[in-house]
Amino acid sequence: MSTRPALLVEAFTDEPLQGNGAAVVWLDQPATATWMQRLAGSFKQSETAFLHREATGGWQLRWFTPSCEVPLCGHATLAATLALAHWGCLQPGDTIPLASRSGALQVGLDGQRPGAAHLTLPSAGLEPLPVPQALETLLGQRIEHYWGSSLGYRVALLQPTAPLATLACPSAGLEGQDRMGLVLMQPLPNEGPALMGAPCDYQLRFFAPGLGIEEDSVTGSAHALVAPWWMEQLQRNQVRGWQPSERHGGMLCEAAGPGWVRLTGAAQLLWDGQINSSGAGCDPDDWQRAVRL
């Protein structure tokens, strides 16, 4: 029986059994998309990350939800970074690129905080759109601003007094593009949750039933998308974002050049082992199409 290393990391949290879980699998050759999709369905995490080392020494990365492949995933990239460290392939202070469908993502271990890592994600701009009345009715809350993005996510800003943390999950009633990713966000008061030595500035929740995710716990790609807007509002080059999901967590977001945001967060290793990789096959052509430098 052929086996490969695999582990499960709970990302963007410094507390056990919180944050967003992601499985990470180290492949010895480019597996077929069909096998990776079936394995992601078996893991039943919001995302499963697959790492493959090229002959040149570089790494390729792909992400699958239980129902489809996605072009970007922050928490599974953080999980993959800490998996590489756990497997002895990345040392504290090192920064390396991971080739992905969203380009070469720079990742590294935080030299000051054991168990923490950083990753740089692309941040597509927010495009103002008319507020959909049907969404306001579904949420039972007033939407102050509503945006689209080239990432495909829609973003809605709620009033500071809206009960975002306790709002009932709206996924069953979402329509159209909102089903492919809806960010609900609001500012936090100064006494909000603390993260890395300071209070968080905003909080959000993320729903994507069209991707097979009723609600995501702590969503790196969503924070990378909205953090530049919060930086502009607060006139700062870094902000702290919180996600008050049932499995809560957060991250430090910093400007990393035009169109890029650097996220720093902690993570917890839940389990470490081997999987049966029989049937994985080998499809280098598919990996070349899916992963671009």
Neighbouring residues of 6: CB distance < 8 A, sequence distance ≥ 6: 23, 24, 25, 26, 273, 274, 275
| Ramachandran category for residue 226: left, alpha or beta (phi over 0 → left; psi -120 to 50 → alpha) | alpha
Which residue type sits at 9?
Answer: V
Residue 221 CB-density burial (10 A; 0-12 exposed, 13-18 middle, 19+ buried): buried
Helix (H, G, I), strand (E, B) or coil at 196: coil
H or E element in which residue 254 lies: strand 249-255
Any idea which residues carry the catalytic annotation? 47
Tokens 């990239």 belong to 77
- Of 184, 182, 187, 261, whose CA–CA distance to 227 is shortest? 261
State the DSSP H helix or E strand holding residue 138, giving kind and residue range, or none if neither: helix 133-139
97 within 8 A of 106, measured Cβ to Cβ: yes
